[in-house]
Amino acid sequence: MSDALSTILEKAPVVPVLEIARADDAVPLAEALVAGGLPVIEVTLRTDAALDAVDSIMKHVPGCTVGIGSIRDPQALERAHATGAAFGVSPGMTPDLLDAITALDWPFLPGATTISEVMTLRARGLMVQKLFPAALLGGAAYLKAIKGPVPDVTFCPTGGVTARNAAEFLSLENVIAVGGTWIATSDLVNAGNWAAITERAAEVSGPA
């Protein structure tokens, strides 16, 4: 499960975290991100349009690898998995969700905040984790501290990651990618400002 997830997260340095209010925005938004060099996205289950948005992107933007985020319980996990999306993401973990994730053969990026949570997920074979909320926890210094006692877990830090600190996170050995909403904020999406989103994506995706 972790290997399949690593293969996905190695495709791009940044995973845009998206809140899509109107399903009609999904395809132009995904196209804007792919054009900017960020083909791996996380559509959060925070809006009623989220699952329709995922469906449209999977049908119409073949170059995009779609994950579903903000999965908080086994019921949401089941709904997300049933879409056929490439991977799932949670902000944290509960015992029920952990059992359901490990019973599924589906790439999953589970959220962790403390060293004990990191170790709990690791004990269940989840070797790639979302550190959340990364900047508030202490940012790069926190990740460096984890690397000492737990060198074999790799992270996708998310929460407070921006254009200013993304490179510092990405320079760490135990960081595979970073996630965040700053590439495609709700304001930019609601305004349909696809050009600005492509520009923000291109700034972090490296030379085309």
User: Known catalytic residues?
Assistant: 42, 130
With 0-12 CB in 10 A as exposed, 13-18 as middle and 19+ as buried, what is 151?
A: exposed
Contact between 154 and ligand 3PG per CB under 6 A = no
Q: Mark the segment that binds ligand 3PG (CB under 6 A) among 4-12, 99-107, 177-185, 195-203.
A: 177-185
Nearer to ligand 3PG, 88 or 180 (CB): 180
Site size toward ligand 3PG, by CB under 6 A: 14
Q: Residue 133, preceding bond cis, omega within 30 degrees?
A: yes
Quote the CA–CA distance of 110 and 90 in Å, as a whole number. 5
Q: To the nearest whole angstrom, how small is the minimum distance from the Cβ of residue 105 to ligand 3PG?
A: 24
Looking only at residues 14 through 33 of this chain, which bind ligand 3PG when binding is defined by CB under 6 A? 17
Q: Which of 16, 179, 184, 198 binds ligand 3PG (CB under 6 A)?
A: 179
Contact between 110 and ligand 3PG per CB under 6 A = no
Contact 103, 84 (CB under 8 A): no
Contact 84, 67 (CB under 8 A): no
Q: Which of 37, 177, 180, 184 binds ligand 3PG (CB under 6 A)?
A: 180
Query: Residue 115 has which token pair?
Result: 């060293």
Quote the CA–CA distance of 79 and 14 in Å, as a whole number. 25
Binding site for ligand 3PG (CB under 6 A): 17, 44, 69-70, 91, 132, 158-161, 179-182
